[in-house]
Amino acid sequence: MGSQGPVVLGVDSSTQSTKVLAVDANSGAVLAKGQAPHTVSTGAGRETDPEVWWGALRDALAQIGEYAARAEAVSVGGQQHGLVVLDAQGSPLRPALLWNDVRSAPQAEALVARYGADWWARRFGSVPGASFTVTKWAWLAEHEPAVAQGAHAVRLPHDFLTERLSGAAVTDRGDASGTGWWATESESYDEKLLAEAGLDPALLPAVLGAGEAAGTVREGLPLRAGALVAAGTGDNAAAALGLGIAPGQAVLSLGTSGTVYSVARRRPADESGIVAGFASADGGWLPLACTLNCTLAVDKVAALLGREREQVEPGGSVAFLPFLDGERTPNLPYASGLLTGLRHETTAGQVLQGAYDGAVYALLGALDQVLAVDGDSAGGEPLLLIGGGARGVAWRETVRRLSGRPVQVPEAQELVALGAAVQAAALLTGEEPGAIARRWGTAAGPTYEAVPRDEETLGRLAAAMPLAATR
């Protein structure tokens, strides 16, 4: 297959796999795709050997053949927050602690108690939870002090791959803002905090600004040597680049966890901890909130009921908060699922619809907090639904019914990798990433008009929430 423009590569190194898209920088057409799986531990924590990511990237590049050899620029979007510690040769000292490894919850609580939530929000834009890298370093220093003391470099997942491609020890402001040690107030590492954590700033990557290059591809890789390597970014920031969203637009990502975000004109600083005040990859801000229980929780309920995920039924009187793994937004880490309002006439399909309702209710509550950063309410702009759940009719219709807002489902797939490709193309052409995304038409897709909000269901869920908070 031929290409009319230069080829750029976008990488999505997620928890479960690495994907590579070869994209025509002029049209945005996806020319080829490669994918290779990761191995994630299922023991006491969630870990992956970073060498698995590197092997998967090489395998995925090999699958796109000639396009890897022709690519003129590449960018890596990666899972946020993970902790990678390297020896003097750049090899991992232990498996990476992933974002969803919650063993550092006690360290997160201790860090917030020590400095105060308002201090964290004011300086770093976010109040750290167990996902943040600063808490994982505290866990490592406490439980594996020899590893912490022997570290010659500390990286985020996407940094590790960028460095393997280019040899440059760099990160970007978007991913750095999720560490808990890069202060969004000053846009620099907080050396006092690092000193108290026993972490030498020299071990950390340099933070590049929007549009800056990490370097060029090294010799000896299944990729054209000399191709430009972008700074890369975290997965949510990459997806935002891929969609080209503007202030007032909101994204609901329906995956294993649910994520809501927008772009903001002003720096977020939410001391409640609900909104993470991340930087965006294009130089702005990306207020974001995350719920733990989304598609996986609803699929579990469907399996328990012996129903397919789309076999929902309207009506009924149930209120279901499917907090099967505790919950992050609202902050109820020790909660369990709560089902109320059962009657003799309640059907299994109504219970399943109740699980959808509860998951979307939590997401929309988080969305209101995200949009409040800029004082927006999303106005008449459609909510952009992405992620695996966005293809499901039950998810889409539940969002419409409980939000009362129009919904748009972009047809583009692999938005993290596509956003990384946008960043690579911007590095190559000098254009603004948003202009490239709009030219590529990445957000194009069917729009579904607003319907009246289901106030009755919302009221039942609001009444149930205090019960969940006591569990």
- Which of the residues are catalytic? 235
Beta-carbon count within 10 A of 166 CB: 23
- SS in 3 state form for the chain? CCCCCCEEEEEEECCCEEEEEEEECCCCCEEEEEEEECCCCCCCCCEECHHHHHHHHHHHHHHCCHHHHHCCEEEEEECCCCEEEECCCCCECCCEECCCCHHHHHHHHHHHHHHCHHHHHHHHCCCCCCCCHHHHHHHHHHHCHHHHHCCCEEECHHHHHHHHHHCCCEEEHHHHCCCCCEECCCCEECHHHHHHHCCCHHHCCEEECCCCEEEECCCCCCCCCCCEEECCEEHHHHHHHHHCCCCCCEEEEECCCEEEEECECCCCCCCCCCCEEEECCCCCEEEEEEECCCHHHHHHHHHHHCCCCCCCCCCCCCEEECCECEECCCCECCCCCEEECCCCCCCHHHHHHHHHHHHHHHHHHHHHHHHHCCCCCCCCCCEEEECHHHHCHHHHHHHHHHHCCCEECCCCCCHHHHHHHHHHHHHHHCCCHHHHHHHHCCCCCCEECCCCCCHHHHHHHHHHHHHHHCC
